Amino acid sequence: MAKDDMFEISDDPDLLTKYLDFDVYYRSQGHFGLYKKKGTTFDPIRVKFGKLPEKLYISRADRIYLVKEKTRELNEKLKRELKKDPSRAKNRITEVVALSLSEPRVEVLEDMKDTIDIVVEEYLASPQVLKNLVQVSVKDYTTQLHLTNVMLFCLGYAYYAGFNEKDMRLLGLAGLLHDVGKVDVPDEILIAPRQLTDEEFQLIKQHPKKGWKMLKSCKFDDIIPICALEHHERLDGSGYPDGKIAKDLCESSRALALVDIYEALTNWRPYKEPMLPVSALKIMKSEVEGNRLDPSIFKEFAKSIIGLTR
């Protein structure tokens, strides 16, 4: 097998049990050999005394299967927790996102629709569900937490703006997937408690096109990869990656741009404390007046924020 067809697994004895039903491989002199057949256990003596090969692997296909099974398991837990325990439910969503970003392939990313469906169904049945999730504050920053927050604010905006259920789900999914292109950006850059260098910022600026390329291969509505591509564009052409202007941007991208900024302003980052909603909206209003953000969408978005945070 080629290296790209393999996935390195942990040699932690407590984790090896989940590979019972899979072939496990070792690597020697650039070639992969079968170390354990599926259905057989690891030699307990070799495990106990740390005598396993330095690195072990399963096939990429088996890895994707495991991720999809774990995602289904997390979604089942999410269904049970949404109304009863908002904090745990929000953590569950971020777990699903983190799992998907760990193996951002078509088969895995497409399963994110299931998570959106669960949240939307519960939200439409009880609007308080989304409000409770939004108000769970976490002093932490990860891409998956950012994507979770953006998704929740997108759903709130869509609801207050009168979107139909299909379009609400689409905007929520766009929010959940808009930053998948960041998977190759090192964490030390994403969470740097300082101003980025020009070289680091140029690397960051590549993520919209990377995300678009990844998502256009999935069986999603065209709006999903478009939003990933355009969420950092601005009406006056000052955004990136292509410097598009108002006439070139779809409505969903304009909305996602607003939500993305609001989430960044109002949630904790390594380099700043969270801003109060009113203060964040004032800053965004100045961006509207500078012809960088959409005024009509901003008006509806501000209403949704007031409804979600009061």
Q: Check: CB of residue 82 under 8 Å from CB of residue 123.
A: no
CATH of 123-309, one of 1.10.760.10, 1.10.10.10, 3.40.50.300, 1.10.3210.10: 1.10.3210.10
- Contacts of residue 292, defined as CB under 8 A and 6 or more positions apart, other chains included, come to 234, 235, 236, 238, 239
Q: What is the dihedral of CA 88, 94, 95, 97, to 10 degrees?
A: 150
Residue with tokens 């209403």: 303
Rounded to whole angstroms, the Cα distance separating 193 from 195 reads 7
Residue with tokens 């901003």: 298
Q: How far is CA 20 from the centre of its chain?
A: 30
Q: pLDDT truncated to tens, each residue of the chain (310 aa)?
A: 677 789 999 877 778 888 999 999 999 888 899 999 999 999 989 988 888 898 999 999 999 999 999 999 999 999 999 999 999 999 999 999 999 999 999 999 999 999 999 999 999 999 999 999 999 977 778 899 999 999 999 999 999 999 999 999 999 999 999 999 999 898 888 888 888 899 999 999 999 999 999 999 999 999 999 999 999 999 999 999 999 999 999 999 999 999 999 999 999 888 788 999 999 999 999 999 999 999 999 999 999 999 988 7
Rounded to whole angstroms, the Cα distance separating 109 from 176 reads 10
Domain residue ranges in the chain? 3-61, 123-309
Q: What is the dihedral of CA 73, 108, 208, 247, to 10 degrees?
A: -90
In which element (H, E) is residue 45 found? Answer: helix 44-48
Of 143, 232, 228, 258, the C-alpha closest to 190 is 143
